[in-house]
Amino acid sequence: MTESGAKPTSRAEPGALDVPTDLSHGGVVEISGELRKLLADVFALYVKTKNFHWHMTGRHFRDYHLLLDEQAEQIFAMSDDVAERARKIGGTTIRSVGDIARNQRLADNDVEFMPPDEMMRELRDDNRALTHYLRATHEVCQKFDDVATASLIETWIDETERRTWFLAEVVTAV
């Protein structure tokens, strides 16, 4: 029995890791599905942020280059927490670049050259969209009383809103 008195249950397929949780099977499936999409978006945003970091030009090069490097580190740090949370509750997560592409909602950017202000505007908008996806996942967690995942998401929302704020200030200043 768990502290809450609920009997731990296993959601594992034969041959998979047996992860006990007191969340319902439906909760594990729905929450881990949302976390899979979030993780794909986090990786897409990380790659785009690094892309713009590497290809930054212009009079604010140093400031923007350093800002994007800092933001990329924060985004990448999120990835392991998202994936591990899905595993902790007995779900699965992404397994490949193709899996990321199938699950991501944020668009890639393969443009050869973009002015710095357009880069920053696109990253601002992507971070804003990620906040929306985080809030939607938070609602799913609340539906299944998954307070641990909801708590992590609250921190990620705060971090994402901060990135959005910094990028919005840069876009306004350009």
Segment-wise mean pLDDT, segments of 10 residues, the chain, 174 residues:
47 54 91 97 98 95 96 97 95 95 97 95 98 98 97 98 97 73
Q: What is the pLDDT of residue 17?
A: 55
**Within a domain: residue 8?**
no
15 in a domain, yes or no?
no
Q: What share of the chain is helix, strand, coil (3-state, %, to 5)?
A: 70, 0, 30
Please give the backbone phi and psi of residue 38, each rounded to the nearest 5 degrees, phi first. -60, -45
| Partners of residue 9 on adjacent β-strands | 21
Residue 43 within any structural domain of the chain: yes
Strand 9-10 relative to strand 20-21: parallel, antiparallel, unpaired? antiparallel
Q: What does the pLDDT look like over 105-125, one tens digit per residue?
A: 999 999 999 999 999 999 999
The enclosing domain of 88 has a CATH number of 1.20.1260.10
- Residue 128 has a pLDDT of 98
- 7 is a domain residue: no
Q: Are 132 and 156 in contact (CB under 8 A)?
A: no
In the numeric block, which tokens belong to residue 67? 């800002």
Does some domain include residue 33? yes
Is 30 within a domain?
Answer: yes
Structural domain boundaries enclosing 146: 23-173
User: What 3-state class would DSSP assign to 20?
Assistant: strand
Structure confidence by residue, pLDDT tens digits, 54-84: 999 999 999 999 999 999 999 999 999 999 9
Q: What pLDDT is recorded for position 62?
A: 95
Q: Does residue 17 lie in a domain region?
A: no
Residues 6+ apart with CB under 8 A from 5: none
Look at the chain and report how many structural domains it folds into: 1
**DSSP run (H or E) holding 1:** none
**Domain for residue 97, yes or no?**
yes
> Rounded to 5 degrees, what angle do the CA atoms 48, 159, 101 make?
35
In SS3 terms, 72-130 reads as: HHHHHHHHHHHHHHHHHCCCCCCCCHHHHHHHCCCCCCCCCCCCHHHHHHHHHHHHHHH
Taking alpha carbons only, the member of 77, 76, 79, 73 closest to residue 39 is 79
